[in-house]
C-alpha cells in the first residue's frame, strides 16, 4: 500500500490507497545521473498513448463529415480542440505528480459517494462510447483491407483482448513502443494521401481561423462538437493521470517539478502530432470530396471507395484502410487502460485486464452489431458521429473536477496550477459546457 501522510492529504476527504495499474506503477526508472535529454526520453511515451484518443475511428467519421460538408472551415475547431487538449492534459500530469492520484482516485477522495458514483457511471459511459467507435472502425478497416464482412468484423474485434494481454505481460514500455509504431504507420499513410490529394493550401491556412458560422449554423455546430468530443476525450483525462505514474520520478519537490516539466513536454509534443493527423483527415476530405461536389461523405467505407478514382492511384484506399485499422488497434489498448484506471480509481475494484476488456467490449459490440446488421454502412456512420457527441456531452463531468483540483493549493501543495493557467482552464471548461448546452437546446427545439 502506498499511502500519503496526513499532512499531504489535508485537502482531501480520504487518504490515498493503492495506486491504479499497480503492476506498472513507478516501474520505469528515471536516471538522475543521466543527461537532461536522457531523462526527457525516459518520460516520452504516455503522451502518445493519450494522443491515440485524439485520432480514433470516431474522429475519422466527424472529420470526414466536416471536411466533405464544409471544406476547410472546421480546421479551426480541430486547432482549438487541440489547444484545449494540451492545457487539460498538462493539468492531468500536474494532478498525478502533485497528489499521487489519478483523476478517478481524486474524485473518489474529494467527493462524497453520491457525487463520485455518478461520475464513475458517466466515465464508464464515455469509455463504452469510445469502444463502440473502435469496434466499428476496426471492423470497417478489416472490411476495407481483407474484405471481411462488417458483421463478422464486429465479432472479431473481441479477439483484440489477446493483443492487450500479451503487451501488458511484456511491460509498459512495449505497450508504448507498439502505439508509437502504429502512429508512425498512420502518419506515413496520410502523408502520401495528402500529397496525392493536392489540397488548396491557401484554403487550408484560412481554415485555421474561426468564423461565427461555426456557432450560428446548427449543422456545423453539431459536427464541431463531434470533433471536440473526439479530440478532448473524457477517458483520456483519466488515462493520462494514471499512466504518468508509471515513471519512478522521485518524491522531492525538485524531482516532481522536473517530472511535471518533462511530462508536459511529452504530452504537448504528442498532441501536436495528433493535430497533424486530425487536420490531415479533414484536409483529405475537403480536397478529395468537398472540392468535387461530394458534400455528404460521412461513411468510412464510402470514403475508401471514392479515393482511388478521385486521387488517381489504386494504393490510396489501401493506405486509408491500413491507417484506419491501426487507429482502431491503438485505441483499443488505451481504452482498456483507461477502463482499468476508472474502475480501480473510483471503486477500488481490480479486475484482470482481459476480464475488464471483455466486459467493455461485450457491451460495445451489442449496439455496433445491431446497427451494422440492420442499417449497414449508413447506420454505422451515424452511430460513429453520435458516439463522439456523447463524449462531448460527458466531457464537462471530467473537466470541471480536474480544473477544480489543480487550482486548489490545499490539494496540490507547491505544484498548484498558477492563476493564469487555472483561468485558461476554467474558460475552457465553461466554453465546453456552454457549447453542449447550446447543442441540447438546438436538439430539443428541432
At residue 282, φ and ψ (nearest 5 deg) are: -70, -40
pLDDT at 9 over 70: no
- pLDDT bracket for residue 44 (50, 70, 90): very high
pLDDT single digits (tens) 57-83: 767 777 888 888 899 999 999 899 899
Range from 133-142, 178-187, 237-246 carrying the lowest mean pLDDT: 133-142
Fold for 8-444, please state it.
Amino acid/polyamine transporter I (1.20.1740)
pLDDT single digits (tens) 112-156: 999 999 999 999 888 888 888 778 888 888 888 888 888 888 888
- Kindly list the domain boundaries of the chain, sorted by start residue: 8-444
Q: What mean pLDDT, rounded, does the chain reach?
A: 84
Amino acid at each position: 500500500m502506498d499511502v500519503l501522510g496526513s499532512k499531504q492529504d489535508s485537502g482531501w476527504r480520504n487518504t490515498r490507497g493503492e495506486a491504479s495499474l499497480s503492476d506498472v506503477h513507478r516501474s520505469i526508472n528515471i536516471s538522475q545521473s543521466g543527461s537532461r535529454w536522457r531523462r526527457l526520453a525516459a518520460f516520452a511515451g504516455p503522451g502518445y498513448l493519450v494522443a491515440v484518443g485524439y485520432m480514433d475511428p470516431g474522429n475519422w467519421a466527424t472529420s470526414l463529415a466536416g471536411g466533405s460538408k464544409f471544406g476547410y472551415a472546421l480546421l479551426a475547431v480541430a486547432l482549438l480542440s487541440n489547444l484545449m487538449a494540451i492545457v487539460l492534459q498538462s493539468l492531468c500530469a500536474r494532478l498525478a505528480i502533485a497528489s499521487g492520484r489519478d483523476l478517478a482516485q481524486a474524485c473518489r477522495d474529494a467527493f462524497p459517494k453520491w457525487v463520485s458514483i455518478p461520475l464513475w457511471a458517466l466515465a464508464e459511459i464515455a469509455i463504452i462510447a469510445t469502444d463502440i467507435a473502435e469496434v466499428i472502425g476496426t471492423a470497417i478497416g478489416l472490411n476495407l483491407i481483407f474484405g471481411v464482412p462488417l458483421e463478422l468484423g464486429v465479432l472479431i474485434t473481441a479477439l483484440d483482448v489477446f493483443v492487450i494481454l500479451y503487451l501488458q505481460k511484456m511491460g509498459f514500455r512495449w505497450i508504448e513502443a507498439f502505439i508509437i509504431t502504429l502512429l508512425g504507420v498512420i502518419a506515413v499513410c496520410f502523408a502520401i494521401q495528402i500529397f496525392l490529394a493536392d489540397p488548396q493550401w491557401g484554403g487550408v491556412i484560412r481554415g485555421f481561423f474561426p468564423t461565427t458560422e461555426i456557432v450560428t449554423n446548427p449543422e456545423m455546430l453539431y459536427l464541431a462538437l463531434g470533433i471536440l468530443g473526439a479530440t478532448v476525450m473524457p477517458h483520456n483525462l483519466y488515462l493520462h493521470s494514471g499512466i504518468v505514474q508509471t515513471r519512478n520520478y522521485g518524491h522531492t519537490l525538485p524531482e516532481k517539478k522536473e517530472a511535471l516539466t518533462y511530462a508536459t513536454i511529452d504530452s504537448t509534443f504528442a498532441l501536436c502530432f495528433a493535430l497533424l493527423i486530425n487536420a490531415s483527415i479533414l484536409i483529405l476530405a475537403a480536397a478529395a470530396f468537398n472540392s468535387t461536389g461530394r458534400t455528404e461523405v460521412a461513411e468510412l467505407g464510402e470514403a475508401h471507395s471514392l479515393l482511388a478514382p478521385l486521387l488517381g492511384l489504386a494504393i490510396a484506399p489501401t493506405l486509408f484502410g491500413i491507417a484506419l485499422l491501426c487507429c482502431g488497434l491503438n485505441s483499443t489498448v488505451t481504452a482498456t487502460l483507461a477502463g482499468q484506471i476508472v474502475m480501480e480509481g473510483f471503486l477500488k475494484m481490480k479486475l484482470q485486464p482481459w476480464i475488464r476488456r471483455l466486459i467493455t467490449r461485450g457491451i460495445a459490440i451489442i449496439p455496433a452489431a445491431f446497427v451494422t446488421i440492420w442499417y449497414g454502412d449508413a447506420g454505422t456512420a451515424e452511430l460513429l458521429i453520435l458516439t463522439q457527441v456523447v463524449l462531448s456531452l460527458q466531457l464537462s463531468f471530467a473537466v470541471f473536477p480536474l480544473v477544480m483540483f489543480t487550482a486548489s493549493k490545499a490539494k496540490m501543495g507547491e505544484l498548484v496550477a498558477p492563476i493564469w493557467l487555472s483561468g485558461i482552464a476554467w474558460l475552457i471548461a465553461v466554453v465546453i459546457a456552454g457549447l453542449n448546452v447550446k447543442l441540447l437546446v438546438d436538439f430539443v427545439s428541432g
